[in-house]
Chains A and B, each alone.
Chain A
Amino acid sequence: MTAAVIAARIRAAARPGRGVLAVAVLAVWALLAVVLAGHDTLALDPFDLAWLHRRLNEVNDAVGNARAGDSTVIHLLDAVRAAVDALVRTMQALIARPAGGRPVPVLGWLGVVALATYAAGALGNLRVAALTAAGLLFIGMQGLWTAAMDTLALTLSAVLLALLVGLPIGVAAGVSDRVLRVLTPILDVAQTMPTFVYLAPLTLVFLIGPASAAITTLIYAAPPVVRLTAHGIRSVPVTSVEASRSLGATRWQQLRGVQLPMSRHTIVLGVSQTIMAALSMATITALIDAPGLGKLVLASLEIQDVGAAFNQGLAIVVLAVVLDRVATAAAARTERPGRPSPRRARLRLAGLAGGAVLAVWLVQLSRTYLWAARFPTTTTVGGHDVSWTLGGAVADGAGGTVAWLSNHAAWATGALKDTVSAVLVDPLQALLAGSPWWVTLVALVALAALAAGPRAAMVALVCLGLLLGTGLWADAMTTLASTVVATAAVMVVGVGLGVWLGRSGTADQLVRPLLDAGQTMPAFVYLVPFVALFQPGRFTAIVAAAVYAVPVTVKIIADGIRGVPSETVEAARSYGSDSWQIITKVQLPMARAAVTLALNQGLIYVLSMVVVGGLVGAGALGYDVVAGFSQGFLYGKGLAAGAAIVLLGVLLDRVTQIAAGRAAARGAPRLSSPSGLDARLRPALNSRPRPAGPPRRPVPTGSTRR
């Protein structure tokens, strides 16, 4: 008998024991939580400060003082800030803000619509061009033209910077192993870190305003293009590179002649992901006073004007859909092999030339006439004023619906809210935040050890120790409780939908576009409908976070289920398994690595919504961060809360990654590399756009068999 077999036996013998132990840990924990409730919870009042928070406040003051003095570092950073600021302001002047002594931007709305439509048609196709025109006009009719252009200006500035920085780095990481090794952990952190967290430290150096917003957006948006560029270059077949080398090409010639052209599609995909990430982040930077739609939504949420928030959120969605479709169409263009027929090429050229002339003419109009410069609200037709605006109607409709819901459906939503709170959230919160800190700490480390082994336990111990250091233990545990409940909900929905989609090609084709759309939506937008349904509060934040995390989870699980070899499923079927047996005995166990990965991503997504939840009264860490931006004396506490969120993120990410690695090691097909690079690429690659032509994935009928 081989050692491997013996090891397998030991593992088999050990497995049922782990579950029992975990239950035992939970039981002891619950008992101690009841007995010692309220002792040593380290709870901190919202306006109380811990030692660390005061120190951070002092650092903030010191930086402020240095700005007035003549520290070289600060001046250097200030120069960067000024340059970025100038870029954003130029963009704004171009499309959003009055410029050049005129009361309107350089390009009026007609000019922007014309140029954007032309660009969409040239980069993508006629369909997305039409969509672009319609989307922009709709936003204008919502009465949100200027705000949308502010958002767009910020997004485009950040994208420009991200590409300027990201493309060369990506190429370097594609060519050099050393660069990739250094870069991977940095990118991991940048992408794992919940979006809001780098807002605070950045404002320390770059102050509040558009420059900080652009730089934050840049940090968040650059990783996809870096990763996908590196990935694209690395995916070029070795033989192609070798062939060019054998012909005596220099490194540069290899890159220009072989690697870059062959990875063009992946790189464009990265660019489109960067654009979407930038839009998402640009709306969020409203928290640090960035102009645009995000700021409007934020203001509406603060005064609980759900109707207005809905109208503004809708504009963000429209913008996101337009950008996403155009980017997707542009990426699809690069995928098309070969050249079009000469006749088609001529036709296209003629169309482009004609379009360019038309666009230039419209731009000229928008610089000449006020009606083409400032989006009109009314037009006089035959002596009557016809209103162009839809915004009021949308807001009223949404507001009316909310009013109706709060009158008629409140009992249902209220009952749901109360039940879930009483059954799940409150007990968990009592367990995590209500027990003495040392009980919680020991219990969490023990659970990590049982779930994922000693290495995970070490990670948990370090992260929890550092959490203690932030002085926000109780808030962190409260946030953790909400995160766990939200993630549990995500997993229930994710496994259910994922299995369905993984098993049915038809279901996949129906639902996947919705998931794609859901993933392009900026985090903010998710809050609006749930505030309407459930009123501001902890529960609303949990639901919004769960909904935000569902698409990625479903996709990963569906792909995992589909990745189970068809022959294995067929074998199970040939032995007379019914559907339930196939799902529970074959597909889910074999997709275990995917399920764990989905859990990991679900946690990260949920956690990244924590701060957004803070906006609607979820309290705890999210509130601490938000308050830190608005109240000077809470600044240090906000920073510490940001750090606490990162620590929670690292804790949950690492432990689930280690667990995923263990799941993969036990026979199930591997889905993620240990570094998590593939895991994070996967969602990106999944949303690979569908070009015209054959369907992306043939519906499994068995016709693909020999």
Chain B
Amino acid sequence: MATPSTTTDPVIEVKDLWKVFGPRADAVPRSPELATLGRRELMERRGNTVAVGDLSFQVAPGEVFVVMGLSGSGKSTLVRCLTRLVEPTAGAIEFEGENLLTVGEKRLRHLRRHKFAMVFQHFGLLPHRRVVDNVSYGLEVRGTPRAERHRRAMEVIELVGLSGFEHGYPAELSGGMQQRVGLARALAGEPDVLFFDEPFSALDPLIRREMQNEVARLHRELGKTMVFVTHDLSEALRLGDRILIMRDGRTAQVGTPDELVGAPADDYVRDFVQDVSRADVLTLRWVMRPVRPGDEPDGPRLAPDVVVRDAVRLVLAAAGRPVQVVADGEVLGVVGEEEILALVGGAVGGTVGGYAGAAGIHRGEPAG
């Protein structure tokens, strides 16, 4: 998985973004008092709802950035703000250095036609058009000639595994296949950024898993930047390089999966992640302890980014000699049976112990 690097410029940079619904919405972000009011009080006092409140984050090129939250947390509004399907109330969205909120209608349409593409929860397909015409819709509105857009459509139809269905109508396809059409439509225009608005929540669990794998595969193969909205934590952890957890329109926490699980910022995030199988998400960095005198120094060596699950067998097999966690030739700490069992057994509540838990909110460079 690609991890954002601090050296490249972000594709999308969101600064102090607000979306407020209701009367005289623009007054809310401007007033320091109103801006900090809770949802209910604001509704009672002014009839406003903050869907997105003072959000700031960056999305790096090639990253899968997941926005995650419960119903009503504002995540769908946020993703629509990013392409101005919903007009933000205040703030800035910079796309490749250009502030989207100040561009004109024409430029915006150009960006939508060439740079962005979106996949929708209920697919948003055109029922009166065949699959191939649905897939080539984006090319059609930008004026690509018919023959060429069909050629391109057939390519992406093949890519998403829909070959043979190109002349069918959406209603003739299953839900999963319909969303493949949605995916193909998004890919057809070769956009820079793909936006997903809960794309799989209308699908049944098995198909959902299959489609998640599909997205992971496409990301591996095409390396597109993706902003992915979901309410499903396991989906977020499975796909996300980084995850933004939203609560009532505001940031609860931004971080990598292991940061969210290992060091939840507050009780809300902790509740959220408590049922996650920690061994599947946390890396050795989160469970290692400092070297103590008396530790056997010749244990097996592993990098700090190895997921605990993958290390279990080795640690248990090492029989008393703790595994050494090594980066750049330096021993960061060790992991013994005790640490592994504590994690797998679920004895560790809340925050993970060990010094990395407290210090490791920012994961370092990928090791190895």
What is A's interface to B at a CB cutoff of 8 Å?
1-2, 4-5, 8-9, 12, 565, 567-568, 570-578, 581, 585-586, 589-590, 592, 666-669, 701-703, 705-706
Q: List residues of chain B with CB within 8 A of the CB of A4.
A: 168, 172
Point out the residues of chain A lying under 8 angstroms from B168, CB to CB: 2, 4-5, 8
A703 and B125 within 8 A (CB): no
Q: From B113, which residue of chain A is reached at the shortest CB distance?
A: A576
Known: A568-B124, A576-B110, A702-B80. A8 touches B164 (CB 8 A): no
Min CB gap B339→A, angstroms: 41
Starting from the known contacts A8-B130, A572-B141, A586-B126, 19 additional A-B residue pairs (CB-CB under 8 Å) come to A1-B164, A5-B168, A9-B167, A565-B124, A567-B121, A568-B124, A570-B124, A571-B125, A572-B126, A574-B85, A574-B118, A574-B195, A576-B112, A576-B142, A578-B109, A589-B128, A590-B128, A669-B127, A703-B49
| Shortest Cβ distance from residue A662 to the other chain B in the assembled complex, whole angstroms | 13
Among B112, B127, B128, which residue has its beta carbon within 8 angstroms of that of A574?
A: B112
Interface residues of B in 151-188 (CB under 8 A from A): 164-165, 167-172, 182, 185
Minimum C-beta distance from B176 to chain A (A): 16
- The list of the 3 closest CB pairs from A to B, nearest first, reads A571-B124, A576-B113, A576-B112
Measured CB to CB, the closest approach of chain B to A211, in angstroms, equals 53
CA distance in complex: A576, B124 (Å) = 14
What is the total of A-B residue contacts with beta carbons within 8 Å? 109
Q: Are B172 and A2 in contact (CB under 8 A)?
A: yes
User: A574-B83, A574-B85, A576-B142 are contacts. A8–B167 as well, Cβ < 8 Å?
Assistant: yes
Interface residues on B, range: 35 or more
Residue from B127, B141, B167, B169 in contact with A590 in the complex, judged by beta carbons closer than 8 Å: B127
Q: Would you call B38 an interface residue if the criterion is a C-beta within 8 Å of the partner chain's C-beta atoms?
A: no
Q: Mark B292-317, 1 if CB is under 8 A from A, else 0.
A: 00000000000000000000000000
Note all chain B residues with C-beta closer than 8 A to A576: 109-114, 138, 141-142
Alpha-carbon distance A570/B120, docked complex (angstroms): 9
B 90-119 binary contact with A (CB < 8 Å = 1; else 0): 000000000000000000011111101110
Task: Report the separation of the CA atoms of residues A574 and B112 in the bound assembly, to the nearest whole angstrom.
Answer: 6
Is B283 on the interface with A (CB-CB < 8 A)? Answer: no
- Residues on B lying within 8 angstroms of A by beta carbon are 21-22, 49, 71-72, 76-77, 80, 83, 85-86, 109-114, 116-118, 120-130, 137-138, 140-142, 164-165, 167-172, 182, 185, 189, 195
Task: Find out whether the CB atom of B109 lies under 8 angstroms from the CB atom of A589.
Answer: no
User: In the complex, which residues of chain B have a beta carbon less than 8 angstroms from the beta carbon of A585?
Assistant: 126, 137, 140-141
| Complex contact B126–A702 (CB within 8 A) | no
Given A1-B164, A4-B172, A575-B138 in contact, is the A703-B21 Cβ separation under 8 Å? yes
Q: How far is the CB of A353 from chain B (nearest CB, A)?
A: 39
A487–B226 Cα distance when bound, in Å, is: 50
Within the complex, what minimum Cβ distance (angstroms) separates A500 from chain B?
Answer: 19
Q: Is the CB of A667 within 8 A of B128?
A: yes
Residues on A with C-beta less than 8 A from B123 are: 567, 571
**Cα-based distance from A587 to B268 in the complex (angstroms):** 42
24 A-B pairs within 8 Å (CB atoms) are namely A5-B165, A5-B172, A9-B167, A570-B85, A570-B120, A571-B182, A574-B117, A574-B118, A575-B112, A575-B117, A575-B137, A576-B109, A576-B112, A576-B114, A581-B141, A585-B126, A585-B137, A589-B128, A592-B128, A668-B127, A702-B77, A702-B86, A705-B77, A706-B76
Interface centre among B121, B127, B130, B171 (most CB of A within 10 A): B127
Given contacts A8-B168, A668-B127, A706-B71, are A575 and B76 in contact (CB under 8 A)?
no
Nearest CB of chain A from residue B104's CB, rounded to whole Å: 13
Q: Which residues of B contact A701 (CB under 8 A)?
A: 21
Given the complex, which residues of A lie within 8 Å of B22, measured CB to CB? 703
A666 CB contacts on chain B under 8 angstroms: 128, 169
Contacts of B127 in A (CB 8 A): 590, 667-669
Q: Which residues from chain B contact A570 at a C-beta distance below 8 Å?
A: 80, 85, 120, 124
Which residues of chain A have C-beta atoms less than 8 A from B125's C-beta? 568, 571
Chain B residue nearest to A566 in the complex (CB): B124
Smallest Cβ distance from B167 to chain A, in angstroms? 5
| Identity of the chain A residue whose Cβ is nearest the Cβ of B137 in the assembled complex | A575
Given A575-B137, A576-B141, A702-B86, do A567 and B124 touch, yes or no (CB 8 Å)? yes
Contacts of B113 in A (CB 8 A): 575-576
User: What's the minimum C-beta distance from A669 to chain B, rounded to whole angstroms?
Assistant: 7
Q: How far is the CA of A578 from the CA of B105 in the complex (A)?
A: 9
Q: How far is the CB of A12 from chain B (nearest CB, A)?
A: 7
Give the CA-CA distance A702 to B122 in the complex, in Å.
16
Chain B residues with CB below 8 A from A581, complex form = 141
Measured CB to CB, the closest approach of chain B to A693, in angstroms, equals 15
Q: Are B130 and A12 in contact (CB under 8 A)?
A: yes
| A571→B120 contact, CB < 8 A | yes
Q: Which of B122, B126, B172 contacts A589 (CB under 8 A)? A: B126
Q: Using Cβ atoms and an 8 Å threshold, which residues of chain B touch A5? A: 165, 167-168, 172
Give Cα A1–Cα B168 distance, bound, in whole angstroms.
9
Q: List the A side residues contacting B171 at CB < 8 Å.
A: 667
Question: Please, which residues of chain B bring their CB within 8 A of the CB of A572?
Answer: 124, 126, 137, 141
A262 to B303, CA, bound (A): 69
- List residues of chain B with CB within 8 A of the CB of A571: 118, 120, 123-125, 182
**Nearest residue, chain A, Cβ from B165:** A5
A58 to B120, alpha carbons, bound, how many Å?
70
Residues in B with CB closer than 8 Å to A573 are: 85, 112
Most buried by B among A12, A701, A705: A705
Contacts of B80 in A (CB 8 A): 570, 702, 705
Question: B141 touching A575 by the CB < 8 A rule?
Answer: yes
Shortest B62–chain A CB gap in Å is 21
Q: Which residues of B contact A565 (CB under 8 A)?
A: 122, 124
A9 to B172, CA, bound (A): 12
> How near does chain A come to B48, taking the closest CB pair, in angstroms?
10
- Nearest CB of B to A571, in Å: 3
Cα distance, A575 to B168, chains bound together (Å):
22
Q: How far is A274 from B192 in the complex, measured between Cα atoms in Å? A: 60
Complex Cα–Cα for A346 and B125 (A):
56
| Most interface-central of A4, A9, A575, A585 (chain B CB within 10 A) | A575
Q: Which residues of B contact A702 (CB under 8 A)?
A: 21, 77, 80, 85-86
A2 to B195, CA, bound (A): 32
**Given known contacts A574-B116, A576-B138, A705-B77, is B128 in contact with A12 (CB within 8 Å)?**
no
**Alpha-carbon distance A4/B116, docked complex (angstroms):** 33
Instruction: Provide the bound-state CA to CA distance between A685 and B130, in Å.
Output: 34
With a CB–CB cut-off of 8 A, which chain A residues contact B110? 576
Closest B residue by C-beta to A666: B128
